[in-house]
């Protein structure tokens, strides 16, 4: 059983609790832990904390375990209470709210366990930004740090609540950065740079997979992506300290070019490989994460082999991370086998869920629902029926970026993913508006590259290179 700290307030009258939960993995999968907090909705008092090191697991498993622990802690306080769950994991929130399908076999039993704690009528779910989930995030990192020492997390030694409040006070409040209508979203290059800076700084300071090195609460983030925040592969990049929170809200852009310091060291370089062709690719059909999950075609496998040969000749790839969808895993395994590397999966690198549009052509979608299509083209917040908006994708992809940039600081990692995640990473690196997604071309098995420096700057080095296919 995880250790918990509870207040003496155990009144049995009907109450409302807020449960904040998070989890992280330093490696995704890697050493993992979770943290959760039960708060009295009326007073804001922390009633219970739970944290535990859970061994080697993925970010998403850790997040779900944090949710289960938080709900059980609330249930022990008052089985008749109403509970409002707040998490920065878009995946968990959407799945537990019933809007996204639960496909991964490791997630299904955990989701069922969480759903069984309280009647569904008594539990609501809300996604919150990583910066608003610091308490649970710090608990998760404390648990992972304790596990690394061969110890169990102890409430008597926890400073998570004090640290979270201090960080919140230091960050309060300034005007949000970013263009009108896009405030708070990771399309803001300055805010995104600050989050990456926090993760890389923690890694360089030797925090290892600790809270600050965690990539987002999702380093797995995926974020992230998500994803998708992550400790996820290094829980901590989503945990921005007071100075970085202020920097993220200020209008000052980090120095670039010759004005930047010379001792930044090697960047974390993402080599972005779009998967090879599937039978749907030449037909230009919507093929996201909510459809048939097609395999590579013969053409797609040949493309992956050519990409593998090119990467082997260059000899620069040090790790391979893939979207969990079949077409990416197949592409990644072909490349990884040639390079002698393992393939790690990150849920936040999956393609957009196109909902009811999956398997349709653009023309077929326009015939069936022109108003819905026009709304989607006009706003990143609009989603296909039953699907996912580009704004939601940007949230989890930014989480994955933060996580992975911290986990692979100074190294070159191959990310095998899809059109939307790659375009989103390029867009965020450039600080470009959401509509730029429609102004980039990415061929099947094309290569792009973005480098992330320790000062928070990003540099787009390559886009849509297909020379290895010719």
pLDDT, one tens digit per residue, over 167-179 is: 666 655 444 433 3
Residue among 351, 358, 372, 388 flagged as catalytic: 351
Q: Report which of residues 414 and 163 the model is more confident about.
A: 414
User: What is the DSSP secondary structure assignment for residue 255, as one 8-state letter?
Assistant: P
Residue 2: pLDDT band (50, 70, 90) is: low
- Is 351 a known active-site residue? yes
The DSSP call for residue 246 is H
pLDDT of 303 strictly over 90: yes
Of 66-75, 157-166, 282-291, 368-377, least confident by mean pLDDT is: 157-166
pLDDT at residue 169 in the model: 63
Lay out the sheet containing 268-274: strands in order across. 343-345, 319-322, 412-417, 268-274, 447-452, 458-465
- pTM of the complete model: 0.50
> Does 76 score more than 90 pLDDT?
yes
Residue 455 φ then ψ, to 5°? -90, 5
Is the pLDDT at 144 greater than 60? The verdict is yes
Quote the pLDDT of residue 170.
60
Q: How confident is the model at residue 12 (pLDDT cuts 50, 70, 90)?
A: very low
pLDDT digits (tens, 9 = 90+) for 316-338: 899 999 999 999 999 999 999 99
Assess whether pLDDT exceeds 60 at residue 374.
yes
- pLDDT band of 162, cuts 50, 70, 90: confident
Q: How confident is the model at residue 101 (pLDDT cuts 50, 70, 90)?
A: confident
261 or 168: whose pLDDT is higher? 168
User: How many residues are given for the chain?
Assistant: 470
Q: Report the number of secondary-structure helices (H) and strands (E) in the chain.
A: 13, 13
Phi and psi angles of residue 177, each rounded to the nearest 5 degrees, phi first: -90, 150
The yes-or-no verdict on residue 279 having pLDDT over 70 is yes
pLDDT classification of 457: cutoffs 50, 70, 90: confident
Contact between 357 and 235 under an 8 Å Cβ cutoff? The reply is: no
User: Could you tell me where the DSSP H helices lie in 279-418?
Assistant: 298-314, 326-339, 362-368, 370-378, 390-407
Of the residues 135, 238, 275, 418, only one is catalytic, namely 275
What is the H or E stretch that residue 91 is in?
helix 90-96
Query: Using 50, 70 and 90 to split pLDDT, how confident is the model at 310?
Result: very high
Looking at residue 280, what DSSP letter applies?
T
pLDDT tier at 30, thresholds 50, 70, 90: confident
Angle at 206 between CA 202 and CA 208, to 5 degrees: 80
Range with lowest mean pLDDT among 136-145, 257-266, 435-444: 257-266
Please, what is the average pLDDT of the chain? 80
| pLDDT for res 219 | 33
So what's the pLDDT on residue 355? 93
């Amino acid at each position: 059983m995880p250790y918990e700290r509870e207040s003496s307030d155990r009144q049995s009258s009907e109450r409302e609790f807020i449960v904040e939960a998070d989890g992280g993995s330093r490696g995704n999968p890697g050493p993992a832990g979770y943290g959760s907090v039960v708060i009295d909705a009326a007073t804001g008092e922390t009633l219970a904390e739970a944290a535990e090191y859970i061994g080697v697991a993925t970010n998403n498993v850790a997040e779900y375990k944090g949710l289960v622990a938080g709900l059980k802690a609330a249930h022990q306080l008052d089985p008749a209470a109403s509970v409002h769950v707040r998490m920065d994991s878009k995946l968990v929130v959407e799945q537990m709210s019933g809007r996204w399908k639960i496909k991964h076999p490791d997630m299904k039993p955990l989701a069922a366990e969480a759903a069984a704690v309280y009647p569904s009528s008594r539990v609501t779910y809300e996604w919150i930004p990583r910066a608003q989930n610091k308490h649970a995030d710090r608990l998760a990192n404390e648990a992972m740090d304790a596990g690394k020492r061969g110890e169990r997390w102890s409430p008597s030694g926890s400073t998570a609540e004090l640290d979270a409040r201090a960080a919140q006070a230091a960050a309060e409040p300034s005007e949000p950065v970013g263009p009108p209508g896009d405030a708070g979203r990771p399309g803001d290059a300055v805010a995104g740079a600050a989050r990456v800076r926090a993760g890389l700084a923690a890694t360089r300071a030797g925090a290892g997979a600790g809270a600050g090195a965690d990539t987002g609460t999702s380093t797995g983030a995926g974020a992230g992506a998500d994803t998708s925040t992550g400790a996820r592969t290094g829980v901590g990049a989503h945990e921005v300290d007071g100075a970085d929170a202020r920097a993220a809200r200020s209008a000052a852009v980090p120095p670039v070019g010759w004005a930047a310091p010379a001792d930044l060291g090697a960047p974390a370089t993402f080599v972005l490989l779009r998967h090879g062709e599937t039978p749907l690719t030449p037909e230009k059909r919507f093929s996201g994460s909510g459809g048939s999950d097609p395999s590579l075609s013969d053409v797609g496998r040949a493309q992956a082999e050519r990409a593998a040969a090119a990467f082997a000749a260059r000899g620069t790839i040090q790790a391979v991370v893939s979207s969990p969808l079949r077409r990416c895993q197949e592409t990644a395994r072909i490349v990884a086998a040639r390079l002698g590397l393992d393939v790690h999966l990150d849920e936040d690198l999956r393609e957009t869920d196109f909902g009811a549009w999956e398997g349709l052509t653009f023309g077929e979608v326009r015939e069936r629902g022109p108003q819905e299509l026009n709304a989607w083209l006009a706003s990143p917040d609009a989603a296909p029926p039953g699907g996912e908006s580009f704004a939601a994708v940007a949230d989890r992809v930014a989480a994955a970026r933060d996580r992975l940039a911290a986990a692979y600081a100074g190294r070159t990692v191959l990310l095998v993913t899809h059109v939307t995640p790659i375009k989103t990473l390029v867009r965020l690196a450039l600080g470009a508006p959401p509509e730029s997604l429609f102004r980039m071309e990415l061929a099947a098995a094309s290569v792009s590259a973005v480098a992330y420096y320790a000062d928070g700057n990003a540099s787009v080095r390559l886009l849509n290179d297909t020379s290895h296919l010719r």
